[in-house]
Structure 1
Amino acid sequence: MDRKRELTSVDLAALCGEFGDYEGAKVDKVYLYDDGLVRFRMRDFDRGRVELLVDIGETKHLRVADAENVPDAPGRPPNFAMMLRNRLSGADLVGVEQYGFDRIVTLEFERGDEDTTVVAELFGDGNIAVLDETGEVVDCLDTVRLKSRTVAPGSPYEFPSSRFNPLEAEYEAFAAKMEDSDTDVVRTLATQLDFGGFWGEELCTRAGVDKTMDIADAGDEEYRAIFSVIEDLRDRLDSADLDPRVYYEGSEQGDDEEGGDEDETAEGEDADRGLRVDATPMPMAEYDDLPSDAFETFTAALDDYFTNWEAEPDTGPEDGGGRNRPDFESEIEKQKRIIEQQEGAIEDFEADAEAEREKAELLYAEYDLVDDILSTVQQARENDVAWDAIGEKFEEGAERGIEAAEAVVGVDGSEGTVTIELDDHRIDVDASMGVEKNADQHYTEAKRIEDKKEGAQAAIENTREELADVKRRREEWDAADGDEAGGGDGSDGADEAAEDVDWLSRASIPVRSSEQWYEEYRWFHTSDDFLVIGGRNADQNEELVKKYMDSGDKFFHAQAHGGPVTILKATGPSEPARDVDFPESTLQEAAQFALSYSSVWKDGKYADDVYMVDPDQVSKTPESGEYLEKGGFAVRGDRTYFEDVAASAAVGIKCEPDTRVIGGPPAAIDPKVETSIELEPGRYAQNDMAKMCYREFKDRFTDKSFVRNVASPDLIQEFLPPGGSRMVED
C-alpha cells in the first residue's frame, strides 16, 4: 500500500473545521525551511504556544504540531521569511478556509496597520503566496505563469478555475456530472467529482456499488446510493463529527517472531503493526482489516503521522537496495493537471472571444444610439466641456427619459471612455472614435484572444506528448525491473556510470578554461545544445546580423522596444548554412533569452511577447519615410509569436568539462552546472546582485578560491539581465 503523502480535499474540509479553535492566536515569528516547510510560531490565550506548520514539500499538508515535534529553527532567514515576519509579527489568526473543494487553504491574519492572507497551494509542486488587503501578491515561493492563471509578485492572485464541489451539490447536479463521464464509477468520482482515487473507492465501498461498473451501466439506484453516502459525509464534516485515525500496515515481525530486536525499531514505529500508512478524519471502510490508533482531533492524528514520516522509511515491498524508482505516478498526475488547466484556459479564451464579438455586434445593432452618444461627447469636448460636466448632463438627460442618456452608465475622463449598457452588456467605448472603429477594436481583440487559444491548443498537444513519454518511460522501467527480478545477466554492475563527483565538497577544484569566439556577446547553449547569441549594445546588434546571421538561423526579438538582437544558430561560423528543425524546447529558451535581456526586465515586468522570423525577413533598409537608428532593423513579413514569455534567468557554475560561470534561461542552465541561482525582476541593481550571487556561490563551495577564479562578481555580472533583479527562493 502506498503511504499518504499529501492531504485530500476531504481531509482539508475536516481540518479547516477544526482550525476554528485556533482563531485569535497571535503570531510571534515565522520560519522557512529548505524543504518547503513554513512554520508559524504563535501564542494563544488559552492554549499557550501554538505551532502551525504548512508543508509544500514532499508531504503537502498543514497541521498544528506538538512543540516537541517541531524542527529546530533554521539559520539565517531568507527574504521570504523576513517578509512574513515583518507583515505578521503581532498579527491575529482570524480565519482558515478551504477554497471550494480544492486543495488550497487560505490563512487570514489581521493587524492594526495591515491585513495579510497566506494562500497555501497543496497540489502539484506546491506553493505559498502572500497577499495584501487588495488581493495582490506581495511575494510567493514560486512564480506561476500559465495561460489560465498567474501567481507573481505585484499581480492580483488568481485562484485556479473553480471546480465542481460535490459537498455542496444537489442530487440533480451530482447525477448530471456522473452522466457526463465516459469511464467507470470510481474514476468518475475520483476525477470528475474531485474526490481522488482513495475516496472514490471508499464511497463505492460504503454505498455497496461495484467501483469498476461502467458509467453507462450505472443508473439512478447506484447514483442515489453514492449520493446518500456523500450526504452523510457532508453532515459529519459540517457538524465536526469526526473520529480521526492513524492506520498501520506492513509489519515484518510480530510478537512471536524470533530474532526481533525491539531496540532496533525506528523511533515512533510500532513493531507489532508496522508502518503508519494513512491518517484519516474518520474510520475508513477500505481499512477495516488494518490496525489503527484513535485521536481526539484530526490535526493531532496528522501530527503523529507526519512527525513519524521520516522515522518510518517507505522501502516498498520489493526494495532490496537497488536503484530508486522514479516517481512516474506523480509526474503523470502533474501532466494531467497541466492538461486540465490548459483545457480550462481554452474554454476561457473561447468565452472571452465570443464576448468581444458580441460587444462589437451590439454596437452595430444599436448604431444610431451609440453614434448619438459619441457625437454628443465629441462635440462637448470640442467646446472644452469638462468630463464631470458631461457625466452630469447624461444623468440629467436620463432623468428626463432621453434614450441615449439612459444607456450611459458612466464616463471616465482619465481614459476618455464612456460606458454604455446595451442588452444587459456594459461596453466601454472610446469617445475619440466612431462606432465602426470601436466595434473593430472588439473584433480585433476577439481575434487576438483566438490566437492565444491556438497557442494553448498547441501547448496542450505538447503536454499530451510529454504525458505519453512519461508513461512510456514508466513501462520501460518496469519492464527492466522485471528482467532484473528474473535474474538478469549476472552482471556485477561494472558497466554502470561512475558516481558523479561532489564538486561542492571538493577541497580543491582544478580550473580548466577555454575561450570561444562568441564570448564577447551575450550567449548560452540551449538544452538541446544549440548556440544562441545576443548583442550587448547597438554596435554588437549590427555586427551579429551582418557577420554571424546565416540562412537556416532564427532571429528573435522582444515585442517591446529596446532589446538585443538574438540569433539562434543552426550551424557554426565555419560550417555551411543549412536548415534545421529546431526542437520546441530550444525555440522557447531562445525566446526567453531575448525577453530577459530586453527592456522588459529593466521595466520590472514579469512577462511579455517575443517574435521570431527568418534571416531574409531582417533588413537594414528602411521603408520610404522611415528611419532606422543604429542597431535597429526592419522586419517584414509574417512573424511567429511566443506569448507571455516569462522573464527569468539563471546563473550557475560549471565544473566539467570546463570551469566557468554561465547564464541564461533556467531550463538550459540548470542541467549543465553544479549549482545555480534563479533570478527574476526585482529591486537589486545589477552590480549589487552580482555581489550577492558571488557570496551565495562562495557559501556553497568548499573551495572558495575556485569561486573567486571562475565566478567573480565581474564575471557573474556579464550574465545578469539589465536593471534590477532578485533571487528566486528555492
Structure 2
Amino acid sequence: MDPKRELTSVDLAALVTELNRYEGAKVDKAYLYGDDLLRFRMRDFDRGRVELILEVGDVKRAHTADPEHVPDAPGRPPNFAMMLRNRLSGADFVGVEQFEFDRILVFEFARGDENTRLVVELFGQGNVAVLDETGEVVQSLETVRLKSRTVAPGSQYEFPASRLNPLTVGYETLEQRMDDSDTDVVRTLATQLNLGGLYAEELCTRAGVEKTMSIEDAGDEQYRAIHDAIEELRTRLRSGDFDPRVYTDDEAVVDVTPFPLEEREREGLDSEGYDNFNDALDEYFYRLDLEDDDPEEMGQQRPDFEAEIEKKKRIIDQQEGAIENFEEQAEAERRRAELLYANYDLVDEVLSTVQEARGNDVSWDEIRETLEAGAEQGIPAAEAVVDVDGADGTVTIELDDTEVAVTVDTGVEKNADRLYTEAKRIEEKKEGAMTAIENTREELEEVKRRREAWEADDEGEAEPDDEAEGEDRDWLSVESVPIRTSEQWYERFRWFRTSDGFLVIGGRNADQNEEIVTKYLDTHDLFFHTQAHGGPVTIVKATGPSEPSEAVEFPEATKEEAAQFAVSYSSTWKEGRFAGEAYMVTPDQVSKTPESGEYIEKGSFVIRGDRTYFRDVEAEVSIGVQCEGETRVLGGPPAAIVDRVETSVRLQPGRYAQNDAAKMLYRKFKERFTDQSFLRKVASPDKIQEFLPPGGSEIVEE
C-alpha cells in the first residue's frame, strides 16, 4: 500500500482545531528549505518552544513538530525567508482557518497594527502566498497566472472556486446531490460531496449503508443515516474529540488519521495511538521521511525526474496563462482604439469641451459637475463620460459598454495611436513569452530524455533484454513493465487519437463543450455532434493549439471514428441504444448567436448550413492498456484503440454501472498481465472509468 503524502480536507479540519490552541504564541524566526518547506520557530507561554512545519511539495503537510525532528537551520536565508522574518519576527499568532472544505489553510499573524496572512495551498502543485492587510500578495513561493485565478506579487489573492462543504450541508442539499448522481453511493459522496474516497467509504460503513449501492436503489433511509454520520464527524472535528492513529503495514507507515477508521482496520493494518493529532502527524511524516531516505530501500539515488517534470509543466502552464492574458489585453487595447474612431464626433466633442474649459482655467471639479449636469439634461456627449481624473488629466468615456480613458490635451487620433502602440507593446511581450515557453518545452523534453535513459539503464542492469531492438515484446508476461507517462493539455476532456493519428477531443459536460468550441476549435478542424440530445461536442484537431493552423485532408477512417466517438459518449449509450446518428460541419458553421427570440443553453450551439451525416453508427468502444511508448489506459472507437494497446476489451451499452464495469475491466486486465504493480498504477478502476461512456455497459465477448 502506498503511503499517504498529502493531508485530506478532514485532516485539515482536525488540525485547525488543535493549532488554534497556540493562539498568542510569538514568532521568533522563519526558515525556508529548498523551495517547498517552511519552518516557523515560535514561543508559547504555556508550552514553550513550538516548531510549525509547512510543506507544499511532493509531500503536503502542516503540523507542529518535536524539536528533535526539525532539520538544522539552512545556510544563508533566501529572499522569501528574509521577507517572512521582516514581517513576522515578534508577531503574535492570531489563529488559523481552513478555507471552506478545501485543502487550504490561512494563518494570521499580528504585529502592532500590521496583520499578515499566510495562505498555504496543500493541493495541486502546492504554494504559499503571503498577504498584507488588504489581501494583496506580498510574495509567493510560486507565481500562478491561470484563466481561473491569479496568485502573483502585487495582485489581490484569489481563492479557487468554491466547493460544497459536506460538514455544513443540510439534509435537503445532501438529498438533492445524491438524487442528481448517476453512480453508486460511495462515489457520489466522494465526488459530489467532496469527501474523497477513504472518508466516503468510512461514512458508508458507519452509516450501515452498502457503499456500492446504486443511487437508484438508495432513498431517505440511507440518506438520513449518511447525514447523521456526517453530523457526528462534524461534531468530533469541531470539538477536538480525537483519538489519533498512525497506521503501519509491516512496520512501514501508510496513513495518519485524527481518529480510528474502520476501513483501515478492515485492511488489517496495525495502528499506534497518540495523545493529539499534531504529535501523530509529526511522527508519521518523520518516519515517512526516514523510510524514503533508507538506502536499502532506495539503492542508488535516483534523480527526482518527476519533480523536475512537474516544475517545468507548472512553468509552462503559467507561461500559457500569461500568453493568453497578453492576447486578451492587446485585443482590448485595439478595440478601445477602434471605438474612438467609430465614435469620432462624440469623443471629439468631449475632448474639445474639456480642453476649452481648461483653457479658461475652469477647475477639474467644476468640469465634472458641468458634465454631470449635462448628463441629467440628456446631452449625449456628457452622458458618455463616466469619470474625470484631474490628477492624470484624463476623461473616461463609455463607448458600446466599454470604458476608454482618453488624455484631454491630445486629440482623438493621438489617443487612438497611443492605444494601438500599447497593443503592439503587449504583443511584443507575448512574443517574448512564446519564445520563453518554447525554451521551457525543450527543457521539459530534455528532462524526459534523461529519465528514459536512466530507466533504460535500470532495465539493462536488472534484466538484460536479448530481444532485438524494435522487436515486439510480450508485455503481458513481462515481470516488470517500465512506467512512462506524461500529462497532456487534452487529458481533462474525453479524447483519443484516430487510427490515422489525429487528435479528437470531446466535452464531459456543458462547461467543457463551451470551452472546447470557444478556445480549441480552429479554422481547419472538424466539428461533430449527434442528433441525440446530451452528446459531447466533438472536434477533430488539424493541428495542436500552439501550432499554426493548417488545412489538412482528413481520411474517411478518421471521420468515421470521430462520428462513432460522438455517438458512443452521448445519451445514445446511456439510453441503452446500440446505434445512433452523427453529423459533421466545419467551424465556420458553428455559432453561439441564436435566431431572434431564441435562447441557447450553455454548451449548446447553432449550426448553420449543410451537414454531412453518418447514419447507423454503432455505439461501441474498446478500453485497453498501452505499453509501448507511454504506459496508460486508452479508450475510444475500437478501430482506433485495438492496435495501439497490448490488450483490450470491447464494450456495448448494457446493465453494469460505470463503477462496476470499471472494476470488471480491471479484473480482466489483472488476469492478463503478470506485472500487477504496474497495472495498479496505470490502469486502476478510476483511470478506466474516465474512458467509459455514461450509463451502463456490457462486455462484448471476443
TM-score, normalization by structure 1: 0.48
TM-score by length of 2: 0.49
